[in-house]
Amino acid sequence: MTRENHLHTWRLPAEWEPQWGVQLTWPHAETDWAPMLSEITATYEELAREIAKRENLLVVKQGDGSFVTSCGVTKEPSPCYISCPTNDTWARDHGFISLIDDMGGCRLIDFCFNGWGEKFPANLDNAINRRLYDEGKIEGEYVNCLDFVLEGGSIESDGKGTVFTTTGCLLAPHRNQPMTKAQIEDRLLNDLHAKRILWIDHGQLTGDDTDGHIDTLVRICPDDTLLYIGCDDPDDEQYEELRLMEEQLKTFRTLDGQPYRLVKLPMPRPIFDGNDRLPATYANFLIVNGAVLCPTYNQPDLDSEALRLIGEVFPDREIVGIDCRSIIKQHGSLHCCTMQLPKVKE
């Protein structure tokens, strides 16, 4: 569906546009990270250092701010910090979704996060945005959309008015029922000031708690490029769904009517926690100013190939691999842990 709206200039920026900073919500002993807190904290410290080299770092942490020195972040000014109760750490899904306009304005849209369809507690995480805004940690116009469930990991934007999402996630139970697909699409068009929504109907990673977040499957990149995960092993349980997703991506057209450039990322070899396969993916990378931070899984051949392909799509950025074997144990990766905040004109 396409809608032209000439009454405003608001838009959902692409992730590769200039950023003010990135939000992290820090792990603590009252989260599911408790059995491996030292391991995940070390990963977050590495992630924090890489972000802070390039832009501002906003940390939401239950407790004091001693992490600033412990993780070795030396960038001035020091990372912005707020002490706030949290259920978990997935900033991509409980953080503000930000719109910008041509005049330098920023809208901070506060959608409801309900633990991916009421699978997990989320009441504390769902209150973080209001706390950040009320304490002046983030600047912009606060927009209350708490009557609608929408996670940041479930949408991708090209910055030009096209928003991509998946039917598997947005139509999943316990999110926005009894709304129909058409009603949900209309809400996305209005709240995100989009011109059209492209729905992906296939693709679901085994072990994924999110019902098919797009940021684990397909990423929108410069020059109308879609980076997506594929599977070449017909015996893999994910093969058919990812094949059907690939076929659908081939049918998509840009607003100018041209096919997208498709670049297929490899699938990591299966990683298990006991008998449970974890949803490892190379698509869950984080774009920051001047770099792309990419998940790796101690699979040197596949890690190298994924980083090479991402580097071809982002030739003007440094490609940095971060070992995500800790994060994947809780079914996420780099993009899931973070939420970027756009840089606006002064």
- pLDDT bin (cut points 50, 70, 90) of residue 71 is low
What's the average model confidence in pLDDT over 16-40? 96
- What does DSSP say about strands 141-149 and 106-112: parallel, antiparallel, or unpaired? parallel
Q: Is the pLDDT of residue 2 over 70?
A: no
pLDDT at res. 344: 86
Q: 129-153, pLDDT tens digit by residue? A: 999 999 999 999 999 999 999 999 9
Q: 76-125, pLDDT tens digit by residue? A: 445 788 999 999 999 999 999 999 999 999 999 999 999 999 999 999 99
Count Cα neighbours of 121 within 13 Å in the Cβ-side half-sphere: 9
pLDDT at res. 1: 47
pLDDT at res. 3: 46
What's the average model confidence in pLDDT over 164-193? 97
Long-range CB contact pairs, 74-83, < 8 A, 24+: 79/48, 79/52, 80/21, 80/56, 80/137, 82/58, 82/131, 82/132, 82/135, 82/137
CB-CB neighbours of 188 under 10 Å: 21
pLDDT at res. 17: 98
Q: Is the pLDDT of residue 33 over 90?
A: yes
Our CA angle for 157, 172, 170, nearest 5°, is 15
* Tokens coding 148: 């609608």
What's the average model confidence in pLDDT over 25-47? 96
Helix segments in the chain, DSSP class H: 37-52, 67-70, 91-94, 115-118, 128-134, 167-170, 181-191, 239-251, 300-313, 334-337
301 torsion bin: left (phi>0), alpha (psi -120 to 50), beta (else)? alpha
Q: Is the pLDDT of residue 322 over 60?
A: yes
Q: Is the pLDDT of residue 5 over 50?
A: no
* Tokens coding 342: 């756009």
- Sheet with 318-323: list strands edge to edge: 286-288, 291-296, 318-323
Nearby residues of 182 by Cβ (< 8 Å), 6 or more positions away: none
Quick check: 302 and 269 in contact, CB under 8 A? yes
- pLDDT bin (cut points 50, 70, 90) of residue 345 is confident
pLDDT at res. 4: 46
Indicate the helix (H) or strand (E) that contains 11: none
- The three-class DSSP label of residue 25 is strand
- Sheet with 19-25: list strands edge to edge: 80-83, 56-61, 19-25, 338-342
* Tokens coding 75: 């960038």
Q: 236-263, pLDDT tens digit by residue? A: 999 999 999 999 999 999 999 999 999 9
pLDDT at res. 69: 47
What mean pLDDT value characterizes the chain? 93
How far is CA 253 from each of CA 88, 226, 266, rounded to the nearest angstrom? 38, 11, 23
pLDDT at res. 81: 86
Q: Is the pLDDT of residue 6 over 70?
A: no
pLDDT at res. 332: 97
How far is CA 205 from each of CA 116, 163, 238, 323, 342, rounded to the nearest angstrom? 15, 21, 7, 20, 29
pLDDT at res. 224: 98
pLDDT at res. 63: 76
